[in-house]
Structures are given as C-alpha cells and as structure tokens.
Amino acid sequence: NPHDVAGLHNSEPDLPLCFYSTMTAMRPLPISPPESP
C-alpha cells in the first residue's frame, strides 16, 4: 500500500534492513541504510 510506505517512510531510520531493501527496490531513497557492514 503506497500509504503504508509513505507513513513508514517517516520512520526510515528504524526500518529493518529487509523492509528497507523492499522500499529501495520500489523507489530508491536518498538515505543510507541503518547499519550496513
């Protein structure tokens, strides 16, 4: 749901990597991963 993504986009720093990857695949976000090795 676009609305869910838009809402969760506000809490991007706390998003899990798996979900972050999903969002990135849908639309590349100008943010860095929470903690990438």
In a domain, 12, yes or no: yes
In a domain, 2, yes or no: yes
36, burial (CB in 10 Å: exposed 0-12, middle 13-18, buried 19+): exposed
In a domain, 33, yes or no: no
In a domain, 19, yes or no: yes
Banded pLDDT at 12 (limits 50, 70, 90): low
In a domain, 21, yes or no: yes
Residue range 4-31: mean pLDDT, rounded: 61
In a domain, 34, yes or no: no
In a domain, 17, yes or no: yes
Banded pLDDT at 2 (limits 50, 70, 90): low
d(CA 22, CA 12): 12
What does pTM read for this prediction?
0.21
Q: Which domain holds residue 2?
A: 1-27
Distances (CA, A) of 24 to 2, 10, 15: 13, 14, 12
Number of domains in the chain: 1
Helix, strand, coil shares of the chain as percentages rounded to 5? Answer: 55, 0, 45
- Please write the tens of the pLDDT for every residue from 20-35: 677 666 665 566 666 6
